[in-house]
Amino acid sequence: MRRTYRGDAIEVSFDLDLCTHIGECLRRQPEVFELRRRPWIVPDAASADEIAAVVERCPSGALQYRRLDGGAEELGPEPAVVTPMRNGPLLVRGRVEVRREDGTLEVLGFRAPGDVFHIELSPVRLQRAFPMSKADDPRE
């Protein structure tokens, strides 16, 4: 379930079901993203540009933003880029269209900038190979 956190200049949304617990948000903007605080996202704690830069580093798309100040909206590369992770999922960045059997079209957007193979320790990943389980995540 996606939850939205609105600030004056930017709105940030989060979906725990998509989160892969890489922790880019927690490490790069701890003033904005604090795991055990309620609300855990405070969009007015940094500039909209700083928050947008962090959200765009989210490899799963669990975090997304919408600018309220007229700043640049979140975009992915064209065409989409698919990067396989060793023994892991495919990371997809950009616009992906899925055409269903009934002819309807669904557009998916993913972002995975940065060094996708390097995983740093964070409050949601205390060991590189073992992220926090979604059941133990205090954000929901």
91 contacts 118 by C-beta, under 8 angstroms: no
Look at the domain 2-115 and name its fold: Alpha-Beta Plaits (3.30.70)
Please tell me which residue, 108 or 113, carries the higher pLDDT value. 108
- Here the tokens at position 78 are 């064209």
95 contacts 107 by C-beta, under 8 angstroms: yes
Q: What is the mean pLDDT of residues 95-123?
A: 70
Q: What is the mean pLDDT of residues 70-90?
A: 74
Please tell me which residue, 90 or 1, carries the higher pLDDT value. 1
109 contacts 96 by C-beta, under 8 angstroms: yes
Q: Is the peptide bond before 89 cis (omega within 30 degrees of 0)?
A: no
Q: How far apart are CA 88 and CA 6, in angstroms?
A: 33
Q: What is the mean pLDDT of residues 13-27?
A: 92
Split at pLDDT 50, 70, 90, the class of 112 is very low
